[in-house]
Amino acid sequence: MDETVTRTPTSEVIDLPLDRIDAGNNDRTVFPEEEIRELADSIRENGLVQPITVRPHTSIEDMRFQIVAGERRFRAHQMLKVSTIRCLIEDLDEEQAAMVMLIENINRKDINPIDEANAFQSRIDRFGWTVEEIAHRTGKSTGVVQARLNLLNLDPDVQDALANGQFWIAGAADIAALDWNRQRLCVNAYAHNPKMTGAEWRALTRRLYKEQADEAQGSMLDPDDFMVVAEYVEISKQEQRPTTKHLIDLVAMMIPHMRFVAANASGATNADALRVECERICDLFDIDPNSERIRSKAHEMSSPPTE
């Protein structure tokens, strides 16, 4: 063991040997080599601006450290073939480290949506965090967090395409509640017709949702509920800016469809699932989910039917 490496108090900044540092459970799975090379060139020229954050994770005898934040900077140092890196040592437990890592990664614009979704799901599985807790800790709305989690319902091949930038996030969100066969049909249709218009895409997904609803739920949905997006597309074609009132009317019309999506994703039709889905749609349209009409329609759809 290197005698120069000793146990240090919390929050101390020191140089640590690279061979004493291990990668943590990073939420990011993609580290493009070209980006790491550019970062290495910057560090070579300007030095390391911000130390990486690590935590002790073995016994005093082994004296190893785990990366909490800064794996890209660590990889850049490896590429430069230097022996040490400046580190901020923090005495953090697993959950505290997971919190720091989540904030570090989610605040980066280049994290892909699937890595973000898996990061959220990991905290739910490992520490029992709720959607509301994740939203509070990341500064996102519950609707956005749930929308990301819904992406994990996608077929693995569709997830890969989304993670690699071969498919777009709005389209993925559109099909997340379809079964995998219908998801693949949508992706293949888009791949063979990349100039597909928004109206054509919506028509395809509406038809597939109707087929799926007819198979699984009988007459649960009125097909007219799916025409709301077509109406919104028509407004856009006419280059008219819809008023807030009109958008609220549209979202209220969509609530029966949201009821189906929430039920499909969570396995149960309930007020909480509907509320989260309603917040997601309202967030997309930038309107208040607490408007009287939306709350009234949501309450109507979440109430048990009367005999």
Looking at the DSSP bridge assignments, the partners of residue 16 are 85
Beta carbons within 8 Å of 196's beta carbon, 6+ residues apart: 189, 190
CA dist., res. 280 & res. 146, Å (int): 8
Q: Indicate if 95 belongs to the active site.
A: no
Looking at the DSSP bridge assignments, the partners of residue 88 are 13, 53
CA dist., res. 270 & res. 274, Å (int): 6
13 φ, ψ (degrees, to nearest 5): -100, 120
Beta carbons within 8 Å of 236's beta carbon, 6+ residues apart: 198
Which tokens belong to 304?
Answer: 């048990």
The answer to whether 150 and 266 are in contact (CB under 8 A) is no
Cβ-count burial of 59 within 10 angstroms (0-12 exposed, 13-18 middle, 19+ buried)? exposed
The answer to whether 265 and 177 are in contact (CB under 8 A) is yes
CA dist., res. 183 & res. 253, Å (int): 24
CA dist., res. 190 & res. 167, Å (int): 9
What is the number of residues in the chain? 307
- Which one of the listed residues 71, 104, 277, 279 is annotated catalytic? 71
Report the sign of the C-alpha dihedral through residues 242, 200, 142, 296, in that order: positive
Active-site residue set = 71
